[in-house]
């Protein structure tokens, strides 16, 4: 007989439903408005590390959103105030024990929030969603460079390229002589640094290198780092957030750089979302935003190791 | 193929930061040495496929230097050296069917059947009454290998052996 059963347990479904209710109550308490934005959009992300899925509607390509970020920023520019959304997002080629190409994001934006404030709110939300599970340790906040220093004594941005390559090779990288510094950072951080993070509590890493700013504002005092953070539980990444870039020129330049990088990597160029650029130009209010992996938090709450166990039908059975 | 050696992929794990490069962390076994190591590839990178083939063959004989096998479909004969045969040499008896891994057309490794039946050529007589203690004694087999057998097992008997552990399983009742 063909396997038809769900990949989640009945108990798991109940936990998800309770988590969704808790998330909505969390934001209602803080006067953050729930919104919905289109899943099928005419433009998509330029980020060379994120590949979109396209659907053809009446001969026209539409993209399944990789996150609701662009549409939500257009709402912010229109002056709606603090907003959140719990929605499906889609990323091609991301499939594994903790990745499903279709997944649930919980994304929110807070006006005038500092990096400190948004990091603390993210930890508060995650702890709220874990309800019956109490973490044995309070969250640890550590700058990216310090997390690396604790392992190697030196920050990666201070290491010469041959040293980065040597560390990568010692840790099993194949053909890393051809990797860019950013690729080496990502490998060393996820394979060597993140395994040093506690399994008893959350680790919040902030002040990422400027080269990995994505849509984050750079630090006012140190332009070498970006006001970006990530929340980890052990090596499991739970959320990514920024104090948002509000400079339209800078944003356009980063999108163009993304496209150049895409071409160098043999990927197709992505048409830049001019509506987003116009919205930022009109005036994106000072704000901070977070994309949280709802399924990942559900994994932690359920104490399971695979994403399949927290979604009703995983990629194989959908 | 990695660093000139053929490898078998045991496990493949997808690793990707939300914003950042995707990697595949794989556990691979070196088909020459049997060693398992962790390697990480940038997702999308490719490697040369190894020309490796696993074929069931019949063991014919050994001249002490090489072990000779025959592909039962093509009747083609292959000679494997001591390194390729490895531990399987302890268990091979004429006409046994085993799995030979060919790399670029030559035997790279030989896997003996999971269970083999071999005759004991030499073992000291067991002492009556000692069976209750679960004691064992060494026994030499027709292939020259030595295994531990229970005290009640006698010379010339045929016994069944698990080649994966090299342990005695049972006596085989002869006709």
Q: Using only C-alpha atoms, what is the Rg of chain B?
A: 21
Dist CA B91 CA B98 (whole Å): 10
Dist CA A210 CA A217 (whole Å): 9
- Indicate the residue of B2, B20, B43 with minimum beta-carbon distance to A212: B20
Give this complex's ipTM.
Answer: 0.90
SS3 B22: coil
**Model confidence pLDDT, tens digit, residues A192-251:** 999 999 999 999 999 999 999 989 999 999 999 999 999 999 999 999 999 999 999 999
Residue A131's pLDDT band (cuts 50, 70, 90): confident
What is the nearest CA distance from A58 to chain B, expressed in angstroms?
A: 31
- Give, in order, the Cα–Cα distances in Å from B64 to each of B69, B79, B112, B120, B122: 14, 11, 18, 21, 21
**Cα atoms found within 13 Å of the Cα of residue A37, Cβ hemisphere only:** 25
Q: Are residues B99 and B124 located together in one domain of the fold?
A: no
Q: How many domains does chain B have?
A: 3
CA A62 to chain centre: 22
Dist CA A257 CA A251 (whole Å): 10
**Model confidence pLDDT, tens digit, residues A46-76:** 999 999 999 999 999 999 999 999 999 999 9
| Chain B contact set for A186 (CB, 8 A) | 17, 20-21, 23
pLDDT reported for residue B64: 86
Strand arrangement, sheet containing B146-150: B146-150, B136-141, B115-123, B158-162, B167-172
**Model confidence pLDDT, tens digit, residues B11-48:** 999 999 888 999 999 999 998 888 899 999 999 899 99
Identify the domain boundary among B69, B90, B111: B111
Q: Are residues B67 and B93 located together in one domain of the fold?
A: yes
% of chain A residues with pLDDT over 70? 100
Q: Are residues B85 and B124 located together in one domain of the fold?
A: no
Which among A167, A168, A155 has a CA at the least distance from the CA of A205? Answer: A155
Residue B134's pLDDT band (cuts 50, 70, 90): low
Dist CA A187 CA A185 (whole Å): 6
Residue A104's pLDDT band (cuts 50, 70, 90): very high
Q: Are residues B33 and B62 located together in one domain of the fold?
A: no
Q: Are residues B123 and B96 located together in one domain of the fold?
A: no
Query: How long is chain A?
Result: 318
Residue B128 forms contact with A (CB below 8 Å): no
With CB atoms and an 8 Å threshold, state whether B25 touches A291: no
**Model confidence pLDDT, tens digit, residues A23-42:** 999 999 999 999 999 999 99
SS3 A213: coil
With CB atoms and an 8 Å threshold, state whether A49 touches B16: yes
Is residue A179 a contact partner of residue A173, using CB atoms and an 8 Å limit? yes
SS3 A30: coil
Under DSSP, the state recorded for B57 is E
What φ, ψ does residue A79 adopt, rounded to 5°? 90, 25
pLDDT reported for residue B130: 55
Dist CA A288 CA B46 (whole Å): 39
Q: Are residues B96 and B126 located together in one domain of the fold?
A: no
Give rounded-to-5 percent helix, strand, coil for chain A.
40, 25, 35
- Give, in order, the Cα–Cα distances in Å from B126 to each of B98, B151, B160: 33, 5, 19
Query: Which domains are seen in chain A, by residue range?
Result: 1-136+210-226+248-318 (3.30.930.10), 140-200 (no CATH)
What is the nearest CA distance from B31 to chain A, expressed in angstroms?
A: 18
Which among A227, A189, A224, A228 has a CA at the least distance from the CA of A210? Answer: A224
Q: Are residues B78 and B101 located together in one domain of the fold?
A: yes
pLDDT reported for residue A214: 87
With CB atoms and an 8 Å threshold, state whether A173 touches B40: yes
What is the nearest CA distance from A95 to chain B, expressed in angstroms?
A: 7
With CB atoms and an 8 Å threshold, state whether A230 touches B17: yes
- Give, in order, the Cα–Cα distances in Å from A191 to each of A98, A152, B41, B88: 15, 13, 12, 38
- Indicate the residue of B17, B20, B40 with minimum beta-carbon distance to A174: B40
B47 domain-assigned: no
User: Average pLDDT in the A286-303 region?
Assistant: 97
With CB atoms and an 8 Å threshold, state whether B18 touches A230: yes
Q: Which of B 22-41 lie inside 8 A of A, CB atoms?
A: 22-23, 25, 37-41
% of chain A residues with pLDDT over 90? 95
Q: Are residues B67 and B102 located together in one domain of the fold?
A: yes
CATH of residue B36: 2.30.30.30
Q: Are residues B59 and B107 located together in one domain of the fold?
A: yes
Which among A82, A68, A86 has a CA at the least distance from the CA of A32? Answer: A82
Q: Which of A47, A48, A49, A106 to mutate to test the interface with B (most CBs of B within 10 A)?
A: A49
pLDDT reported for residue B131: 54
Q: Which of B 37-96 lie inside 8 A of A, CB atoms?
A: 37-43, 45, 47
With CB atoms and an 8 Å threshold, state whether A191 touches B37: no
Q: Are residues B73 and B107 located together in one domain of the fold?
A: yes
Torsion-angle region of A283 (φ positive above 0: left; ψ -120 to 50: alpha; else: beta): left
- Indicate the residue of B15, B20, B39 with minimum beta-carbon distance to A174: B39
With CB atoms and an 8 Å threshold, state whether A99 touches B14: yes
Q: Are residues B57 and B104 located together in one domain of the fold?
A: yes
CATH of residue B105: 2.40.50.140
Domain span including residue B34: 7-42
On average, the pLDDT of chain B sits at: 89
Determine the Cα angle at B13 with ends B11 and B19, to 5°: 165
B1 domain-assigned: no
Q: Is the pLDDT of residue A6 over 60?
A: yes
Residue B15 forms contact with A (CB below 8 Å): yes
Dist CA A80 CA B39 (whole Å): 48
**Beta bridge partner(s), residue A204:** A141, A231
% of chain B residues with pLDDT over 90? 66
Quick count: other Cβ atoms within 10 Å of Cβ A177? 11
With CB atoms and an 8 Å threshold, state whether A179 touches B16: no
Q: Are residues B93 and B125 located together in one domain of the fold?
A: no
With CB atoms and an 8 Å threshold, state whether B25 touches A186: no
Residue A257's pLDDT band (cuts 50, 70, 90): very high
pLDDT reported for residue B128: 61
| Chain A contact set for B25 (CB, 8 A) | 172, 191
């Amino acid at each position: 007989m063909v396997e038809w059963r769900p990949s989640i347990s009945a108990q798991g479904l109940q936990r998800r439903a309770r988590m969704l209710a808790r998330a909505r109550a969390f934001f209602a308490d803080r006067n953050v408005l729930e919104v919905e934005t289109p899943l099928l959009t005419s433009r998509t992300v330029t980020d060379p590390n994120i590949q979109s899925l396209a659907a053809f509607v009446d001969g026209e390509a539409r993209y399944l959103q990789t996150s609701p970020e662009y549409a939500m920023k257009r709402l912010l520019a229109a002056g709606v105030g603090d907003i959140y959304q719990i929605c499906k997002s889609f990323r091609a080629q991301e499939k594994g024990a903790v990745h499903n190409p279709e997944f649930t994001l919980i994304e929110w934006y807070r006006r005038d929030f500092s990096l400190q404030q948004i990091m603390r709110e993210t930890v508060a939300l995650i702890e709220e969603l874990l309800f019956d599970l109490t973490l044995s340790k309070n969250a640890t906040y550590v700058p990216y460079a310090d997390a690396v220093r604790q392992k190697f004594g030196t920050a990666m941005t201070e290491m010469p390229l041959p040293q980065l390559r040597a560390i990568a090779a010692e840790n099993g990288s194949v053909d890393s002589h051809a990797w860019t510094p950013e690729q080496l950072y990502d490998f060393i951080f996820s394979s060597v640094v993140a395994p040093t993070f506690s399994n008893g509590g959350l680790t919040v890493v902030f002040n990422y290198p400027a080269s990995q700013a994505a849509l984050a504002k750079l630090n006012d005092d140190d332009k070498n780092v970006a006001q970006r953070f990530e929340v980890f539980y052990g090596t499991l990444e739970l959320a990514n957030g920024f104090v948002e870039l509000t400079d339209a020129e800078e944003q356009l330049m980063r999108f163009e750089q993304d496209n150049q990088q895409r071409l160098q990597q043999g990927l197709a160029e992505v048409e830049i979302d001019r509506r987003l650029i116009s919205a930022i130009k009109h005036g994106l209010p000072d704000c901070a935003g977070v994309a949280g992996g709802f399924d990942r938090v559900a994994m932690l709450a359920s104490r399971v190791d695979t994403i399949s166990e927290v979604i009703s039908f995983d990629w194989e059975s959908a | 193929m990695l660093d000139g050696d053929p490898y078998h992929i045991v496990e493949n794990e997808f690793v990707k930061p939300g914003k950042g490069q995707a990697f595949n962390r794989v556990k691979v076994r070196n088909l020459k040495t049997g060693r398992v190591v962790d390697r990480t590839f940038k997702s999308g990178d490719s490697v040369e496929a190894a020309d490796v083939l696993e074929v069931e063959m019949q063991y014919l004989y050994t001249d002490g230097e090489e072990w000779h096998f025959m592909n039962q479909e093509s009747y083609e004969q292959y000679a494997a050296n001591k390194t390729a045969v490895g531990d399987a040499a302890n268990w091979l008896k004429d006409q046994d069917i085993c799995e030979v891994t060919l790399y670029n057309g030559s035997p790279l490794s030989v896997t003996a059947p999971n269970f083999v039946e071999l005759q004991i050529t030499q073992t000291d007589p067991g002492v009556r009454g000692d069976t209750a203690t679960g004691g064992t004694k060494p026994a030499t087999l027709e292939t020259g290998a030595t295994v531990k057998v229970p005290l009640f097992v006698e010379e010339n008997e045929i016994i069944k052996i698990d080649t994966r552990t090299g342990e005695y399983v049972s006596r085989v009742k002869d006709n």
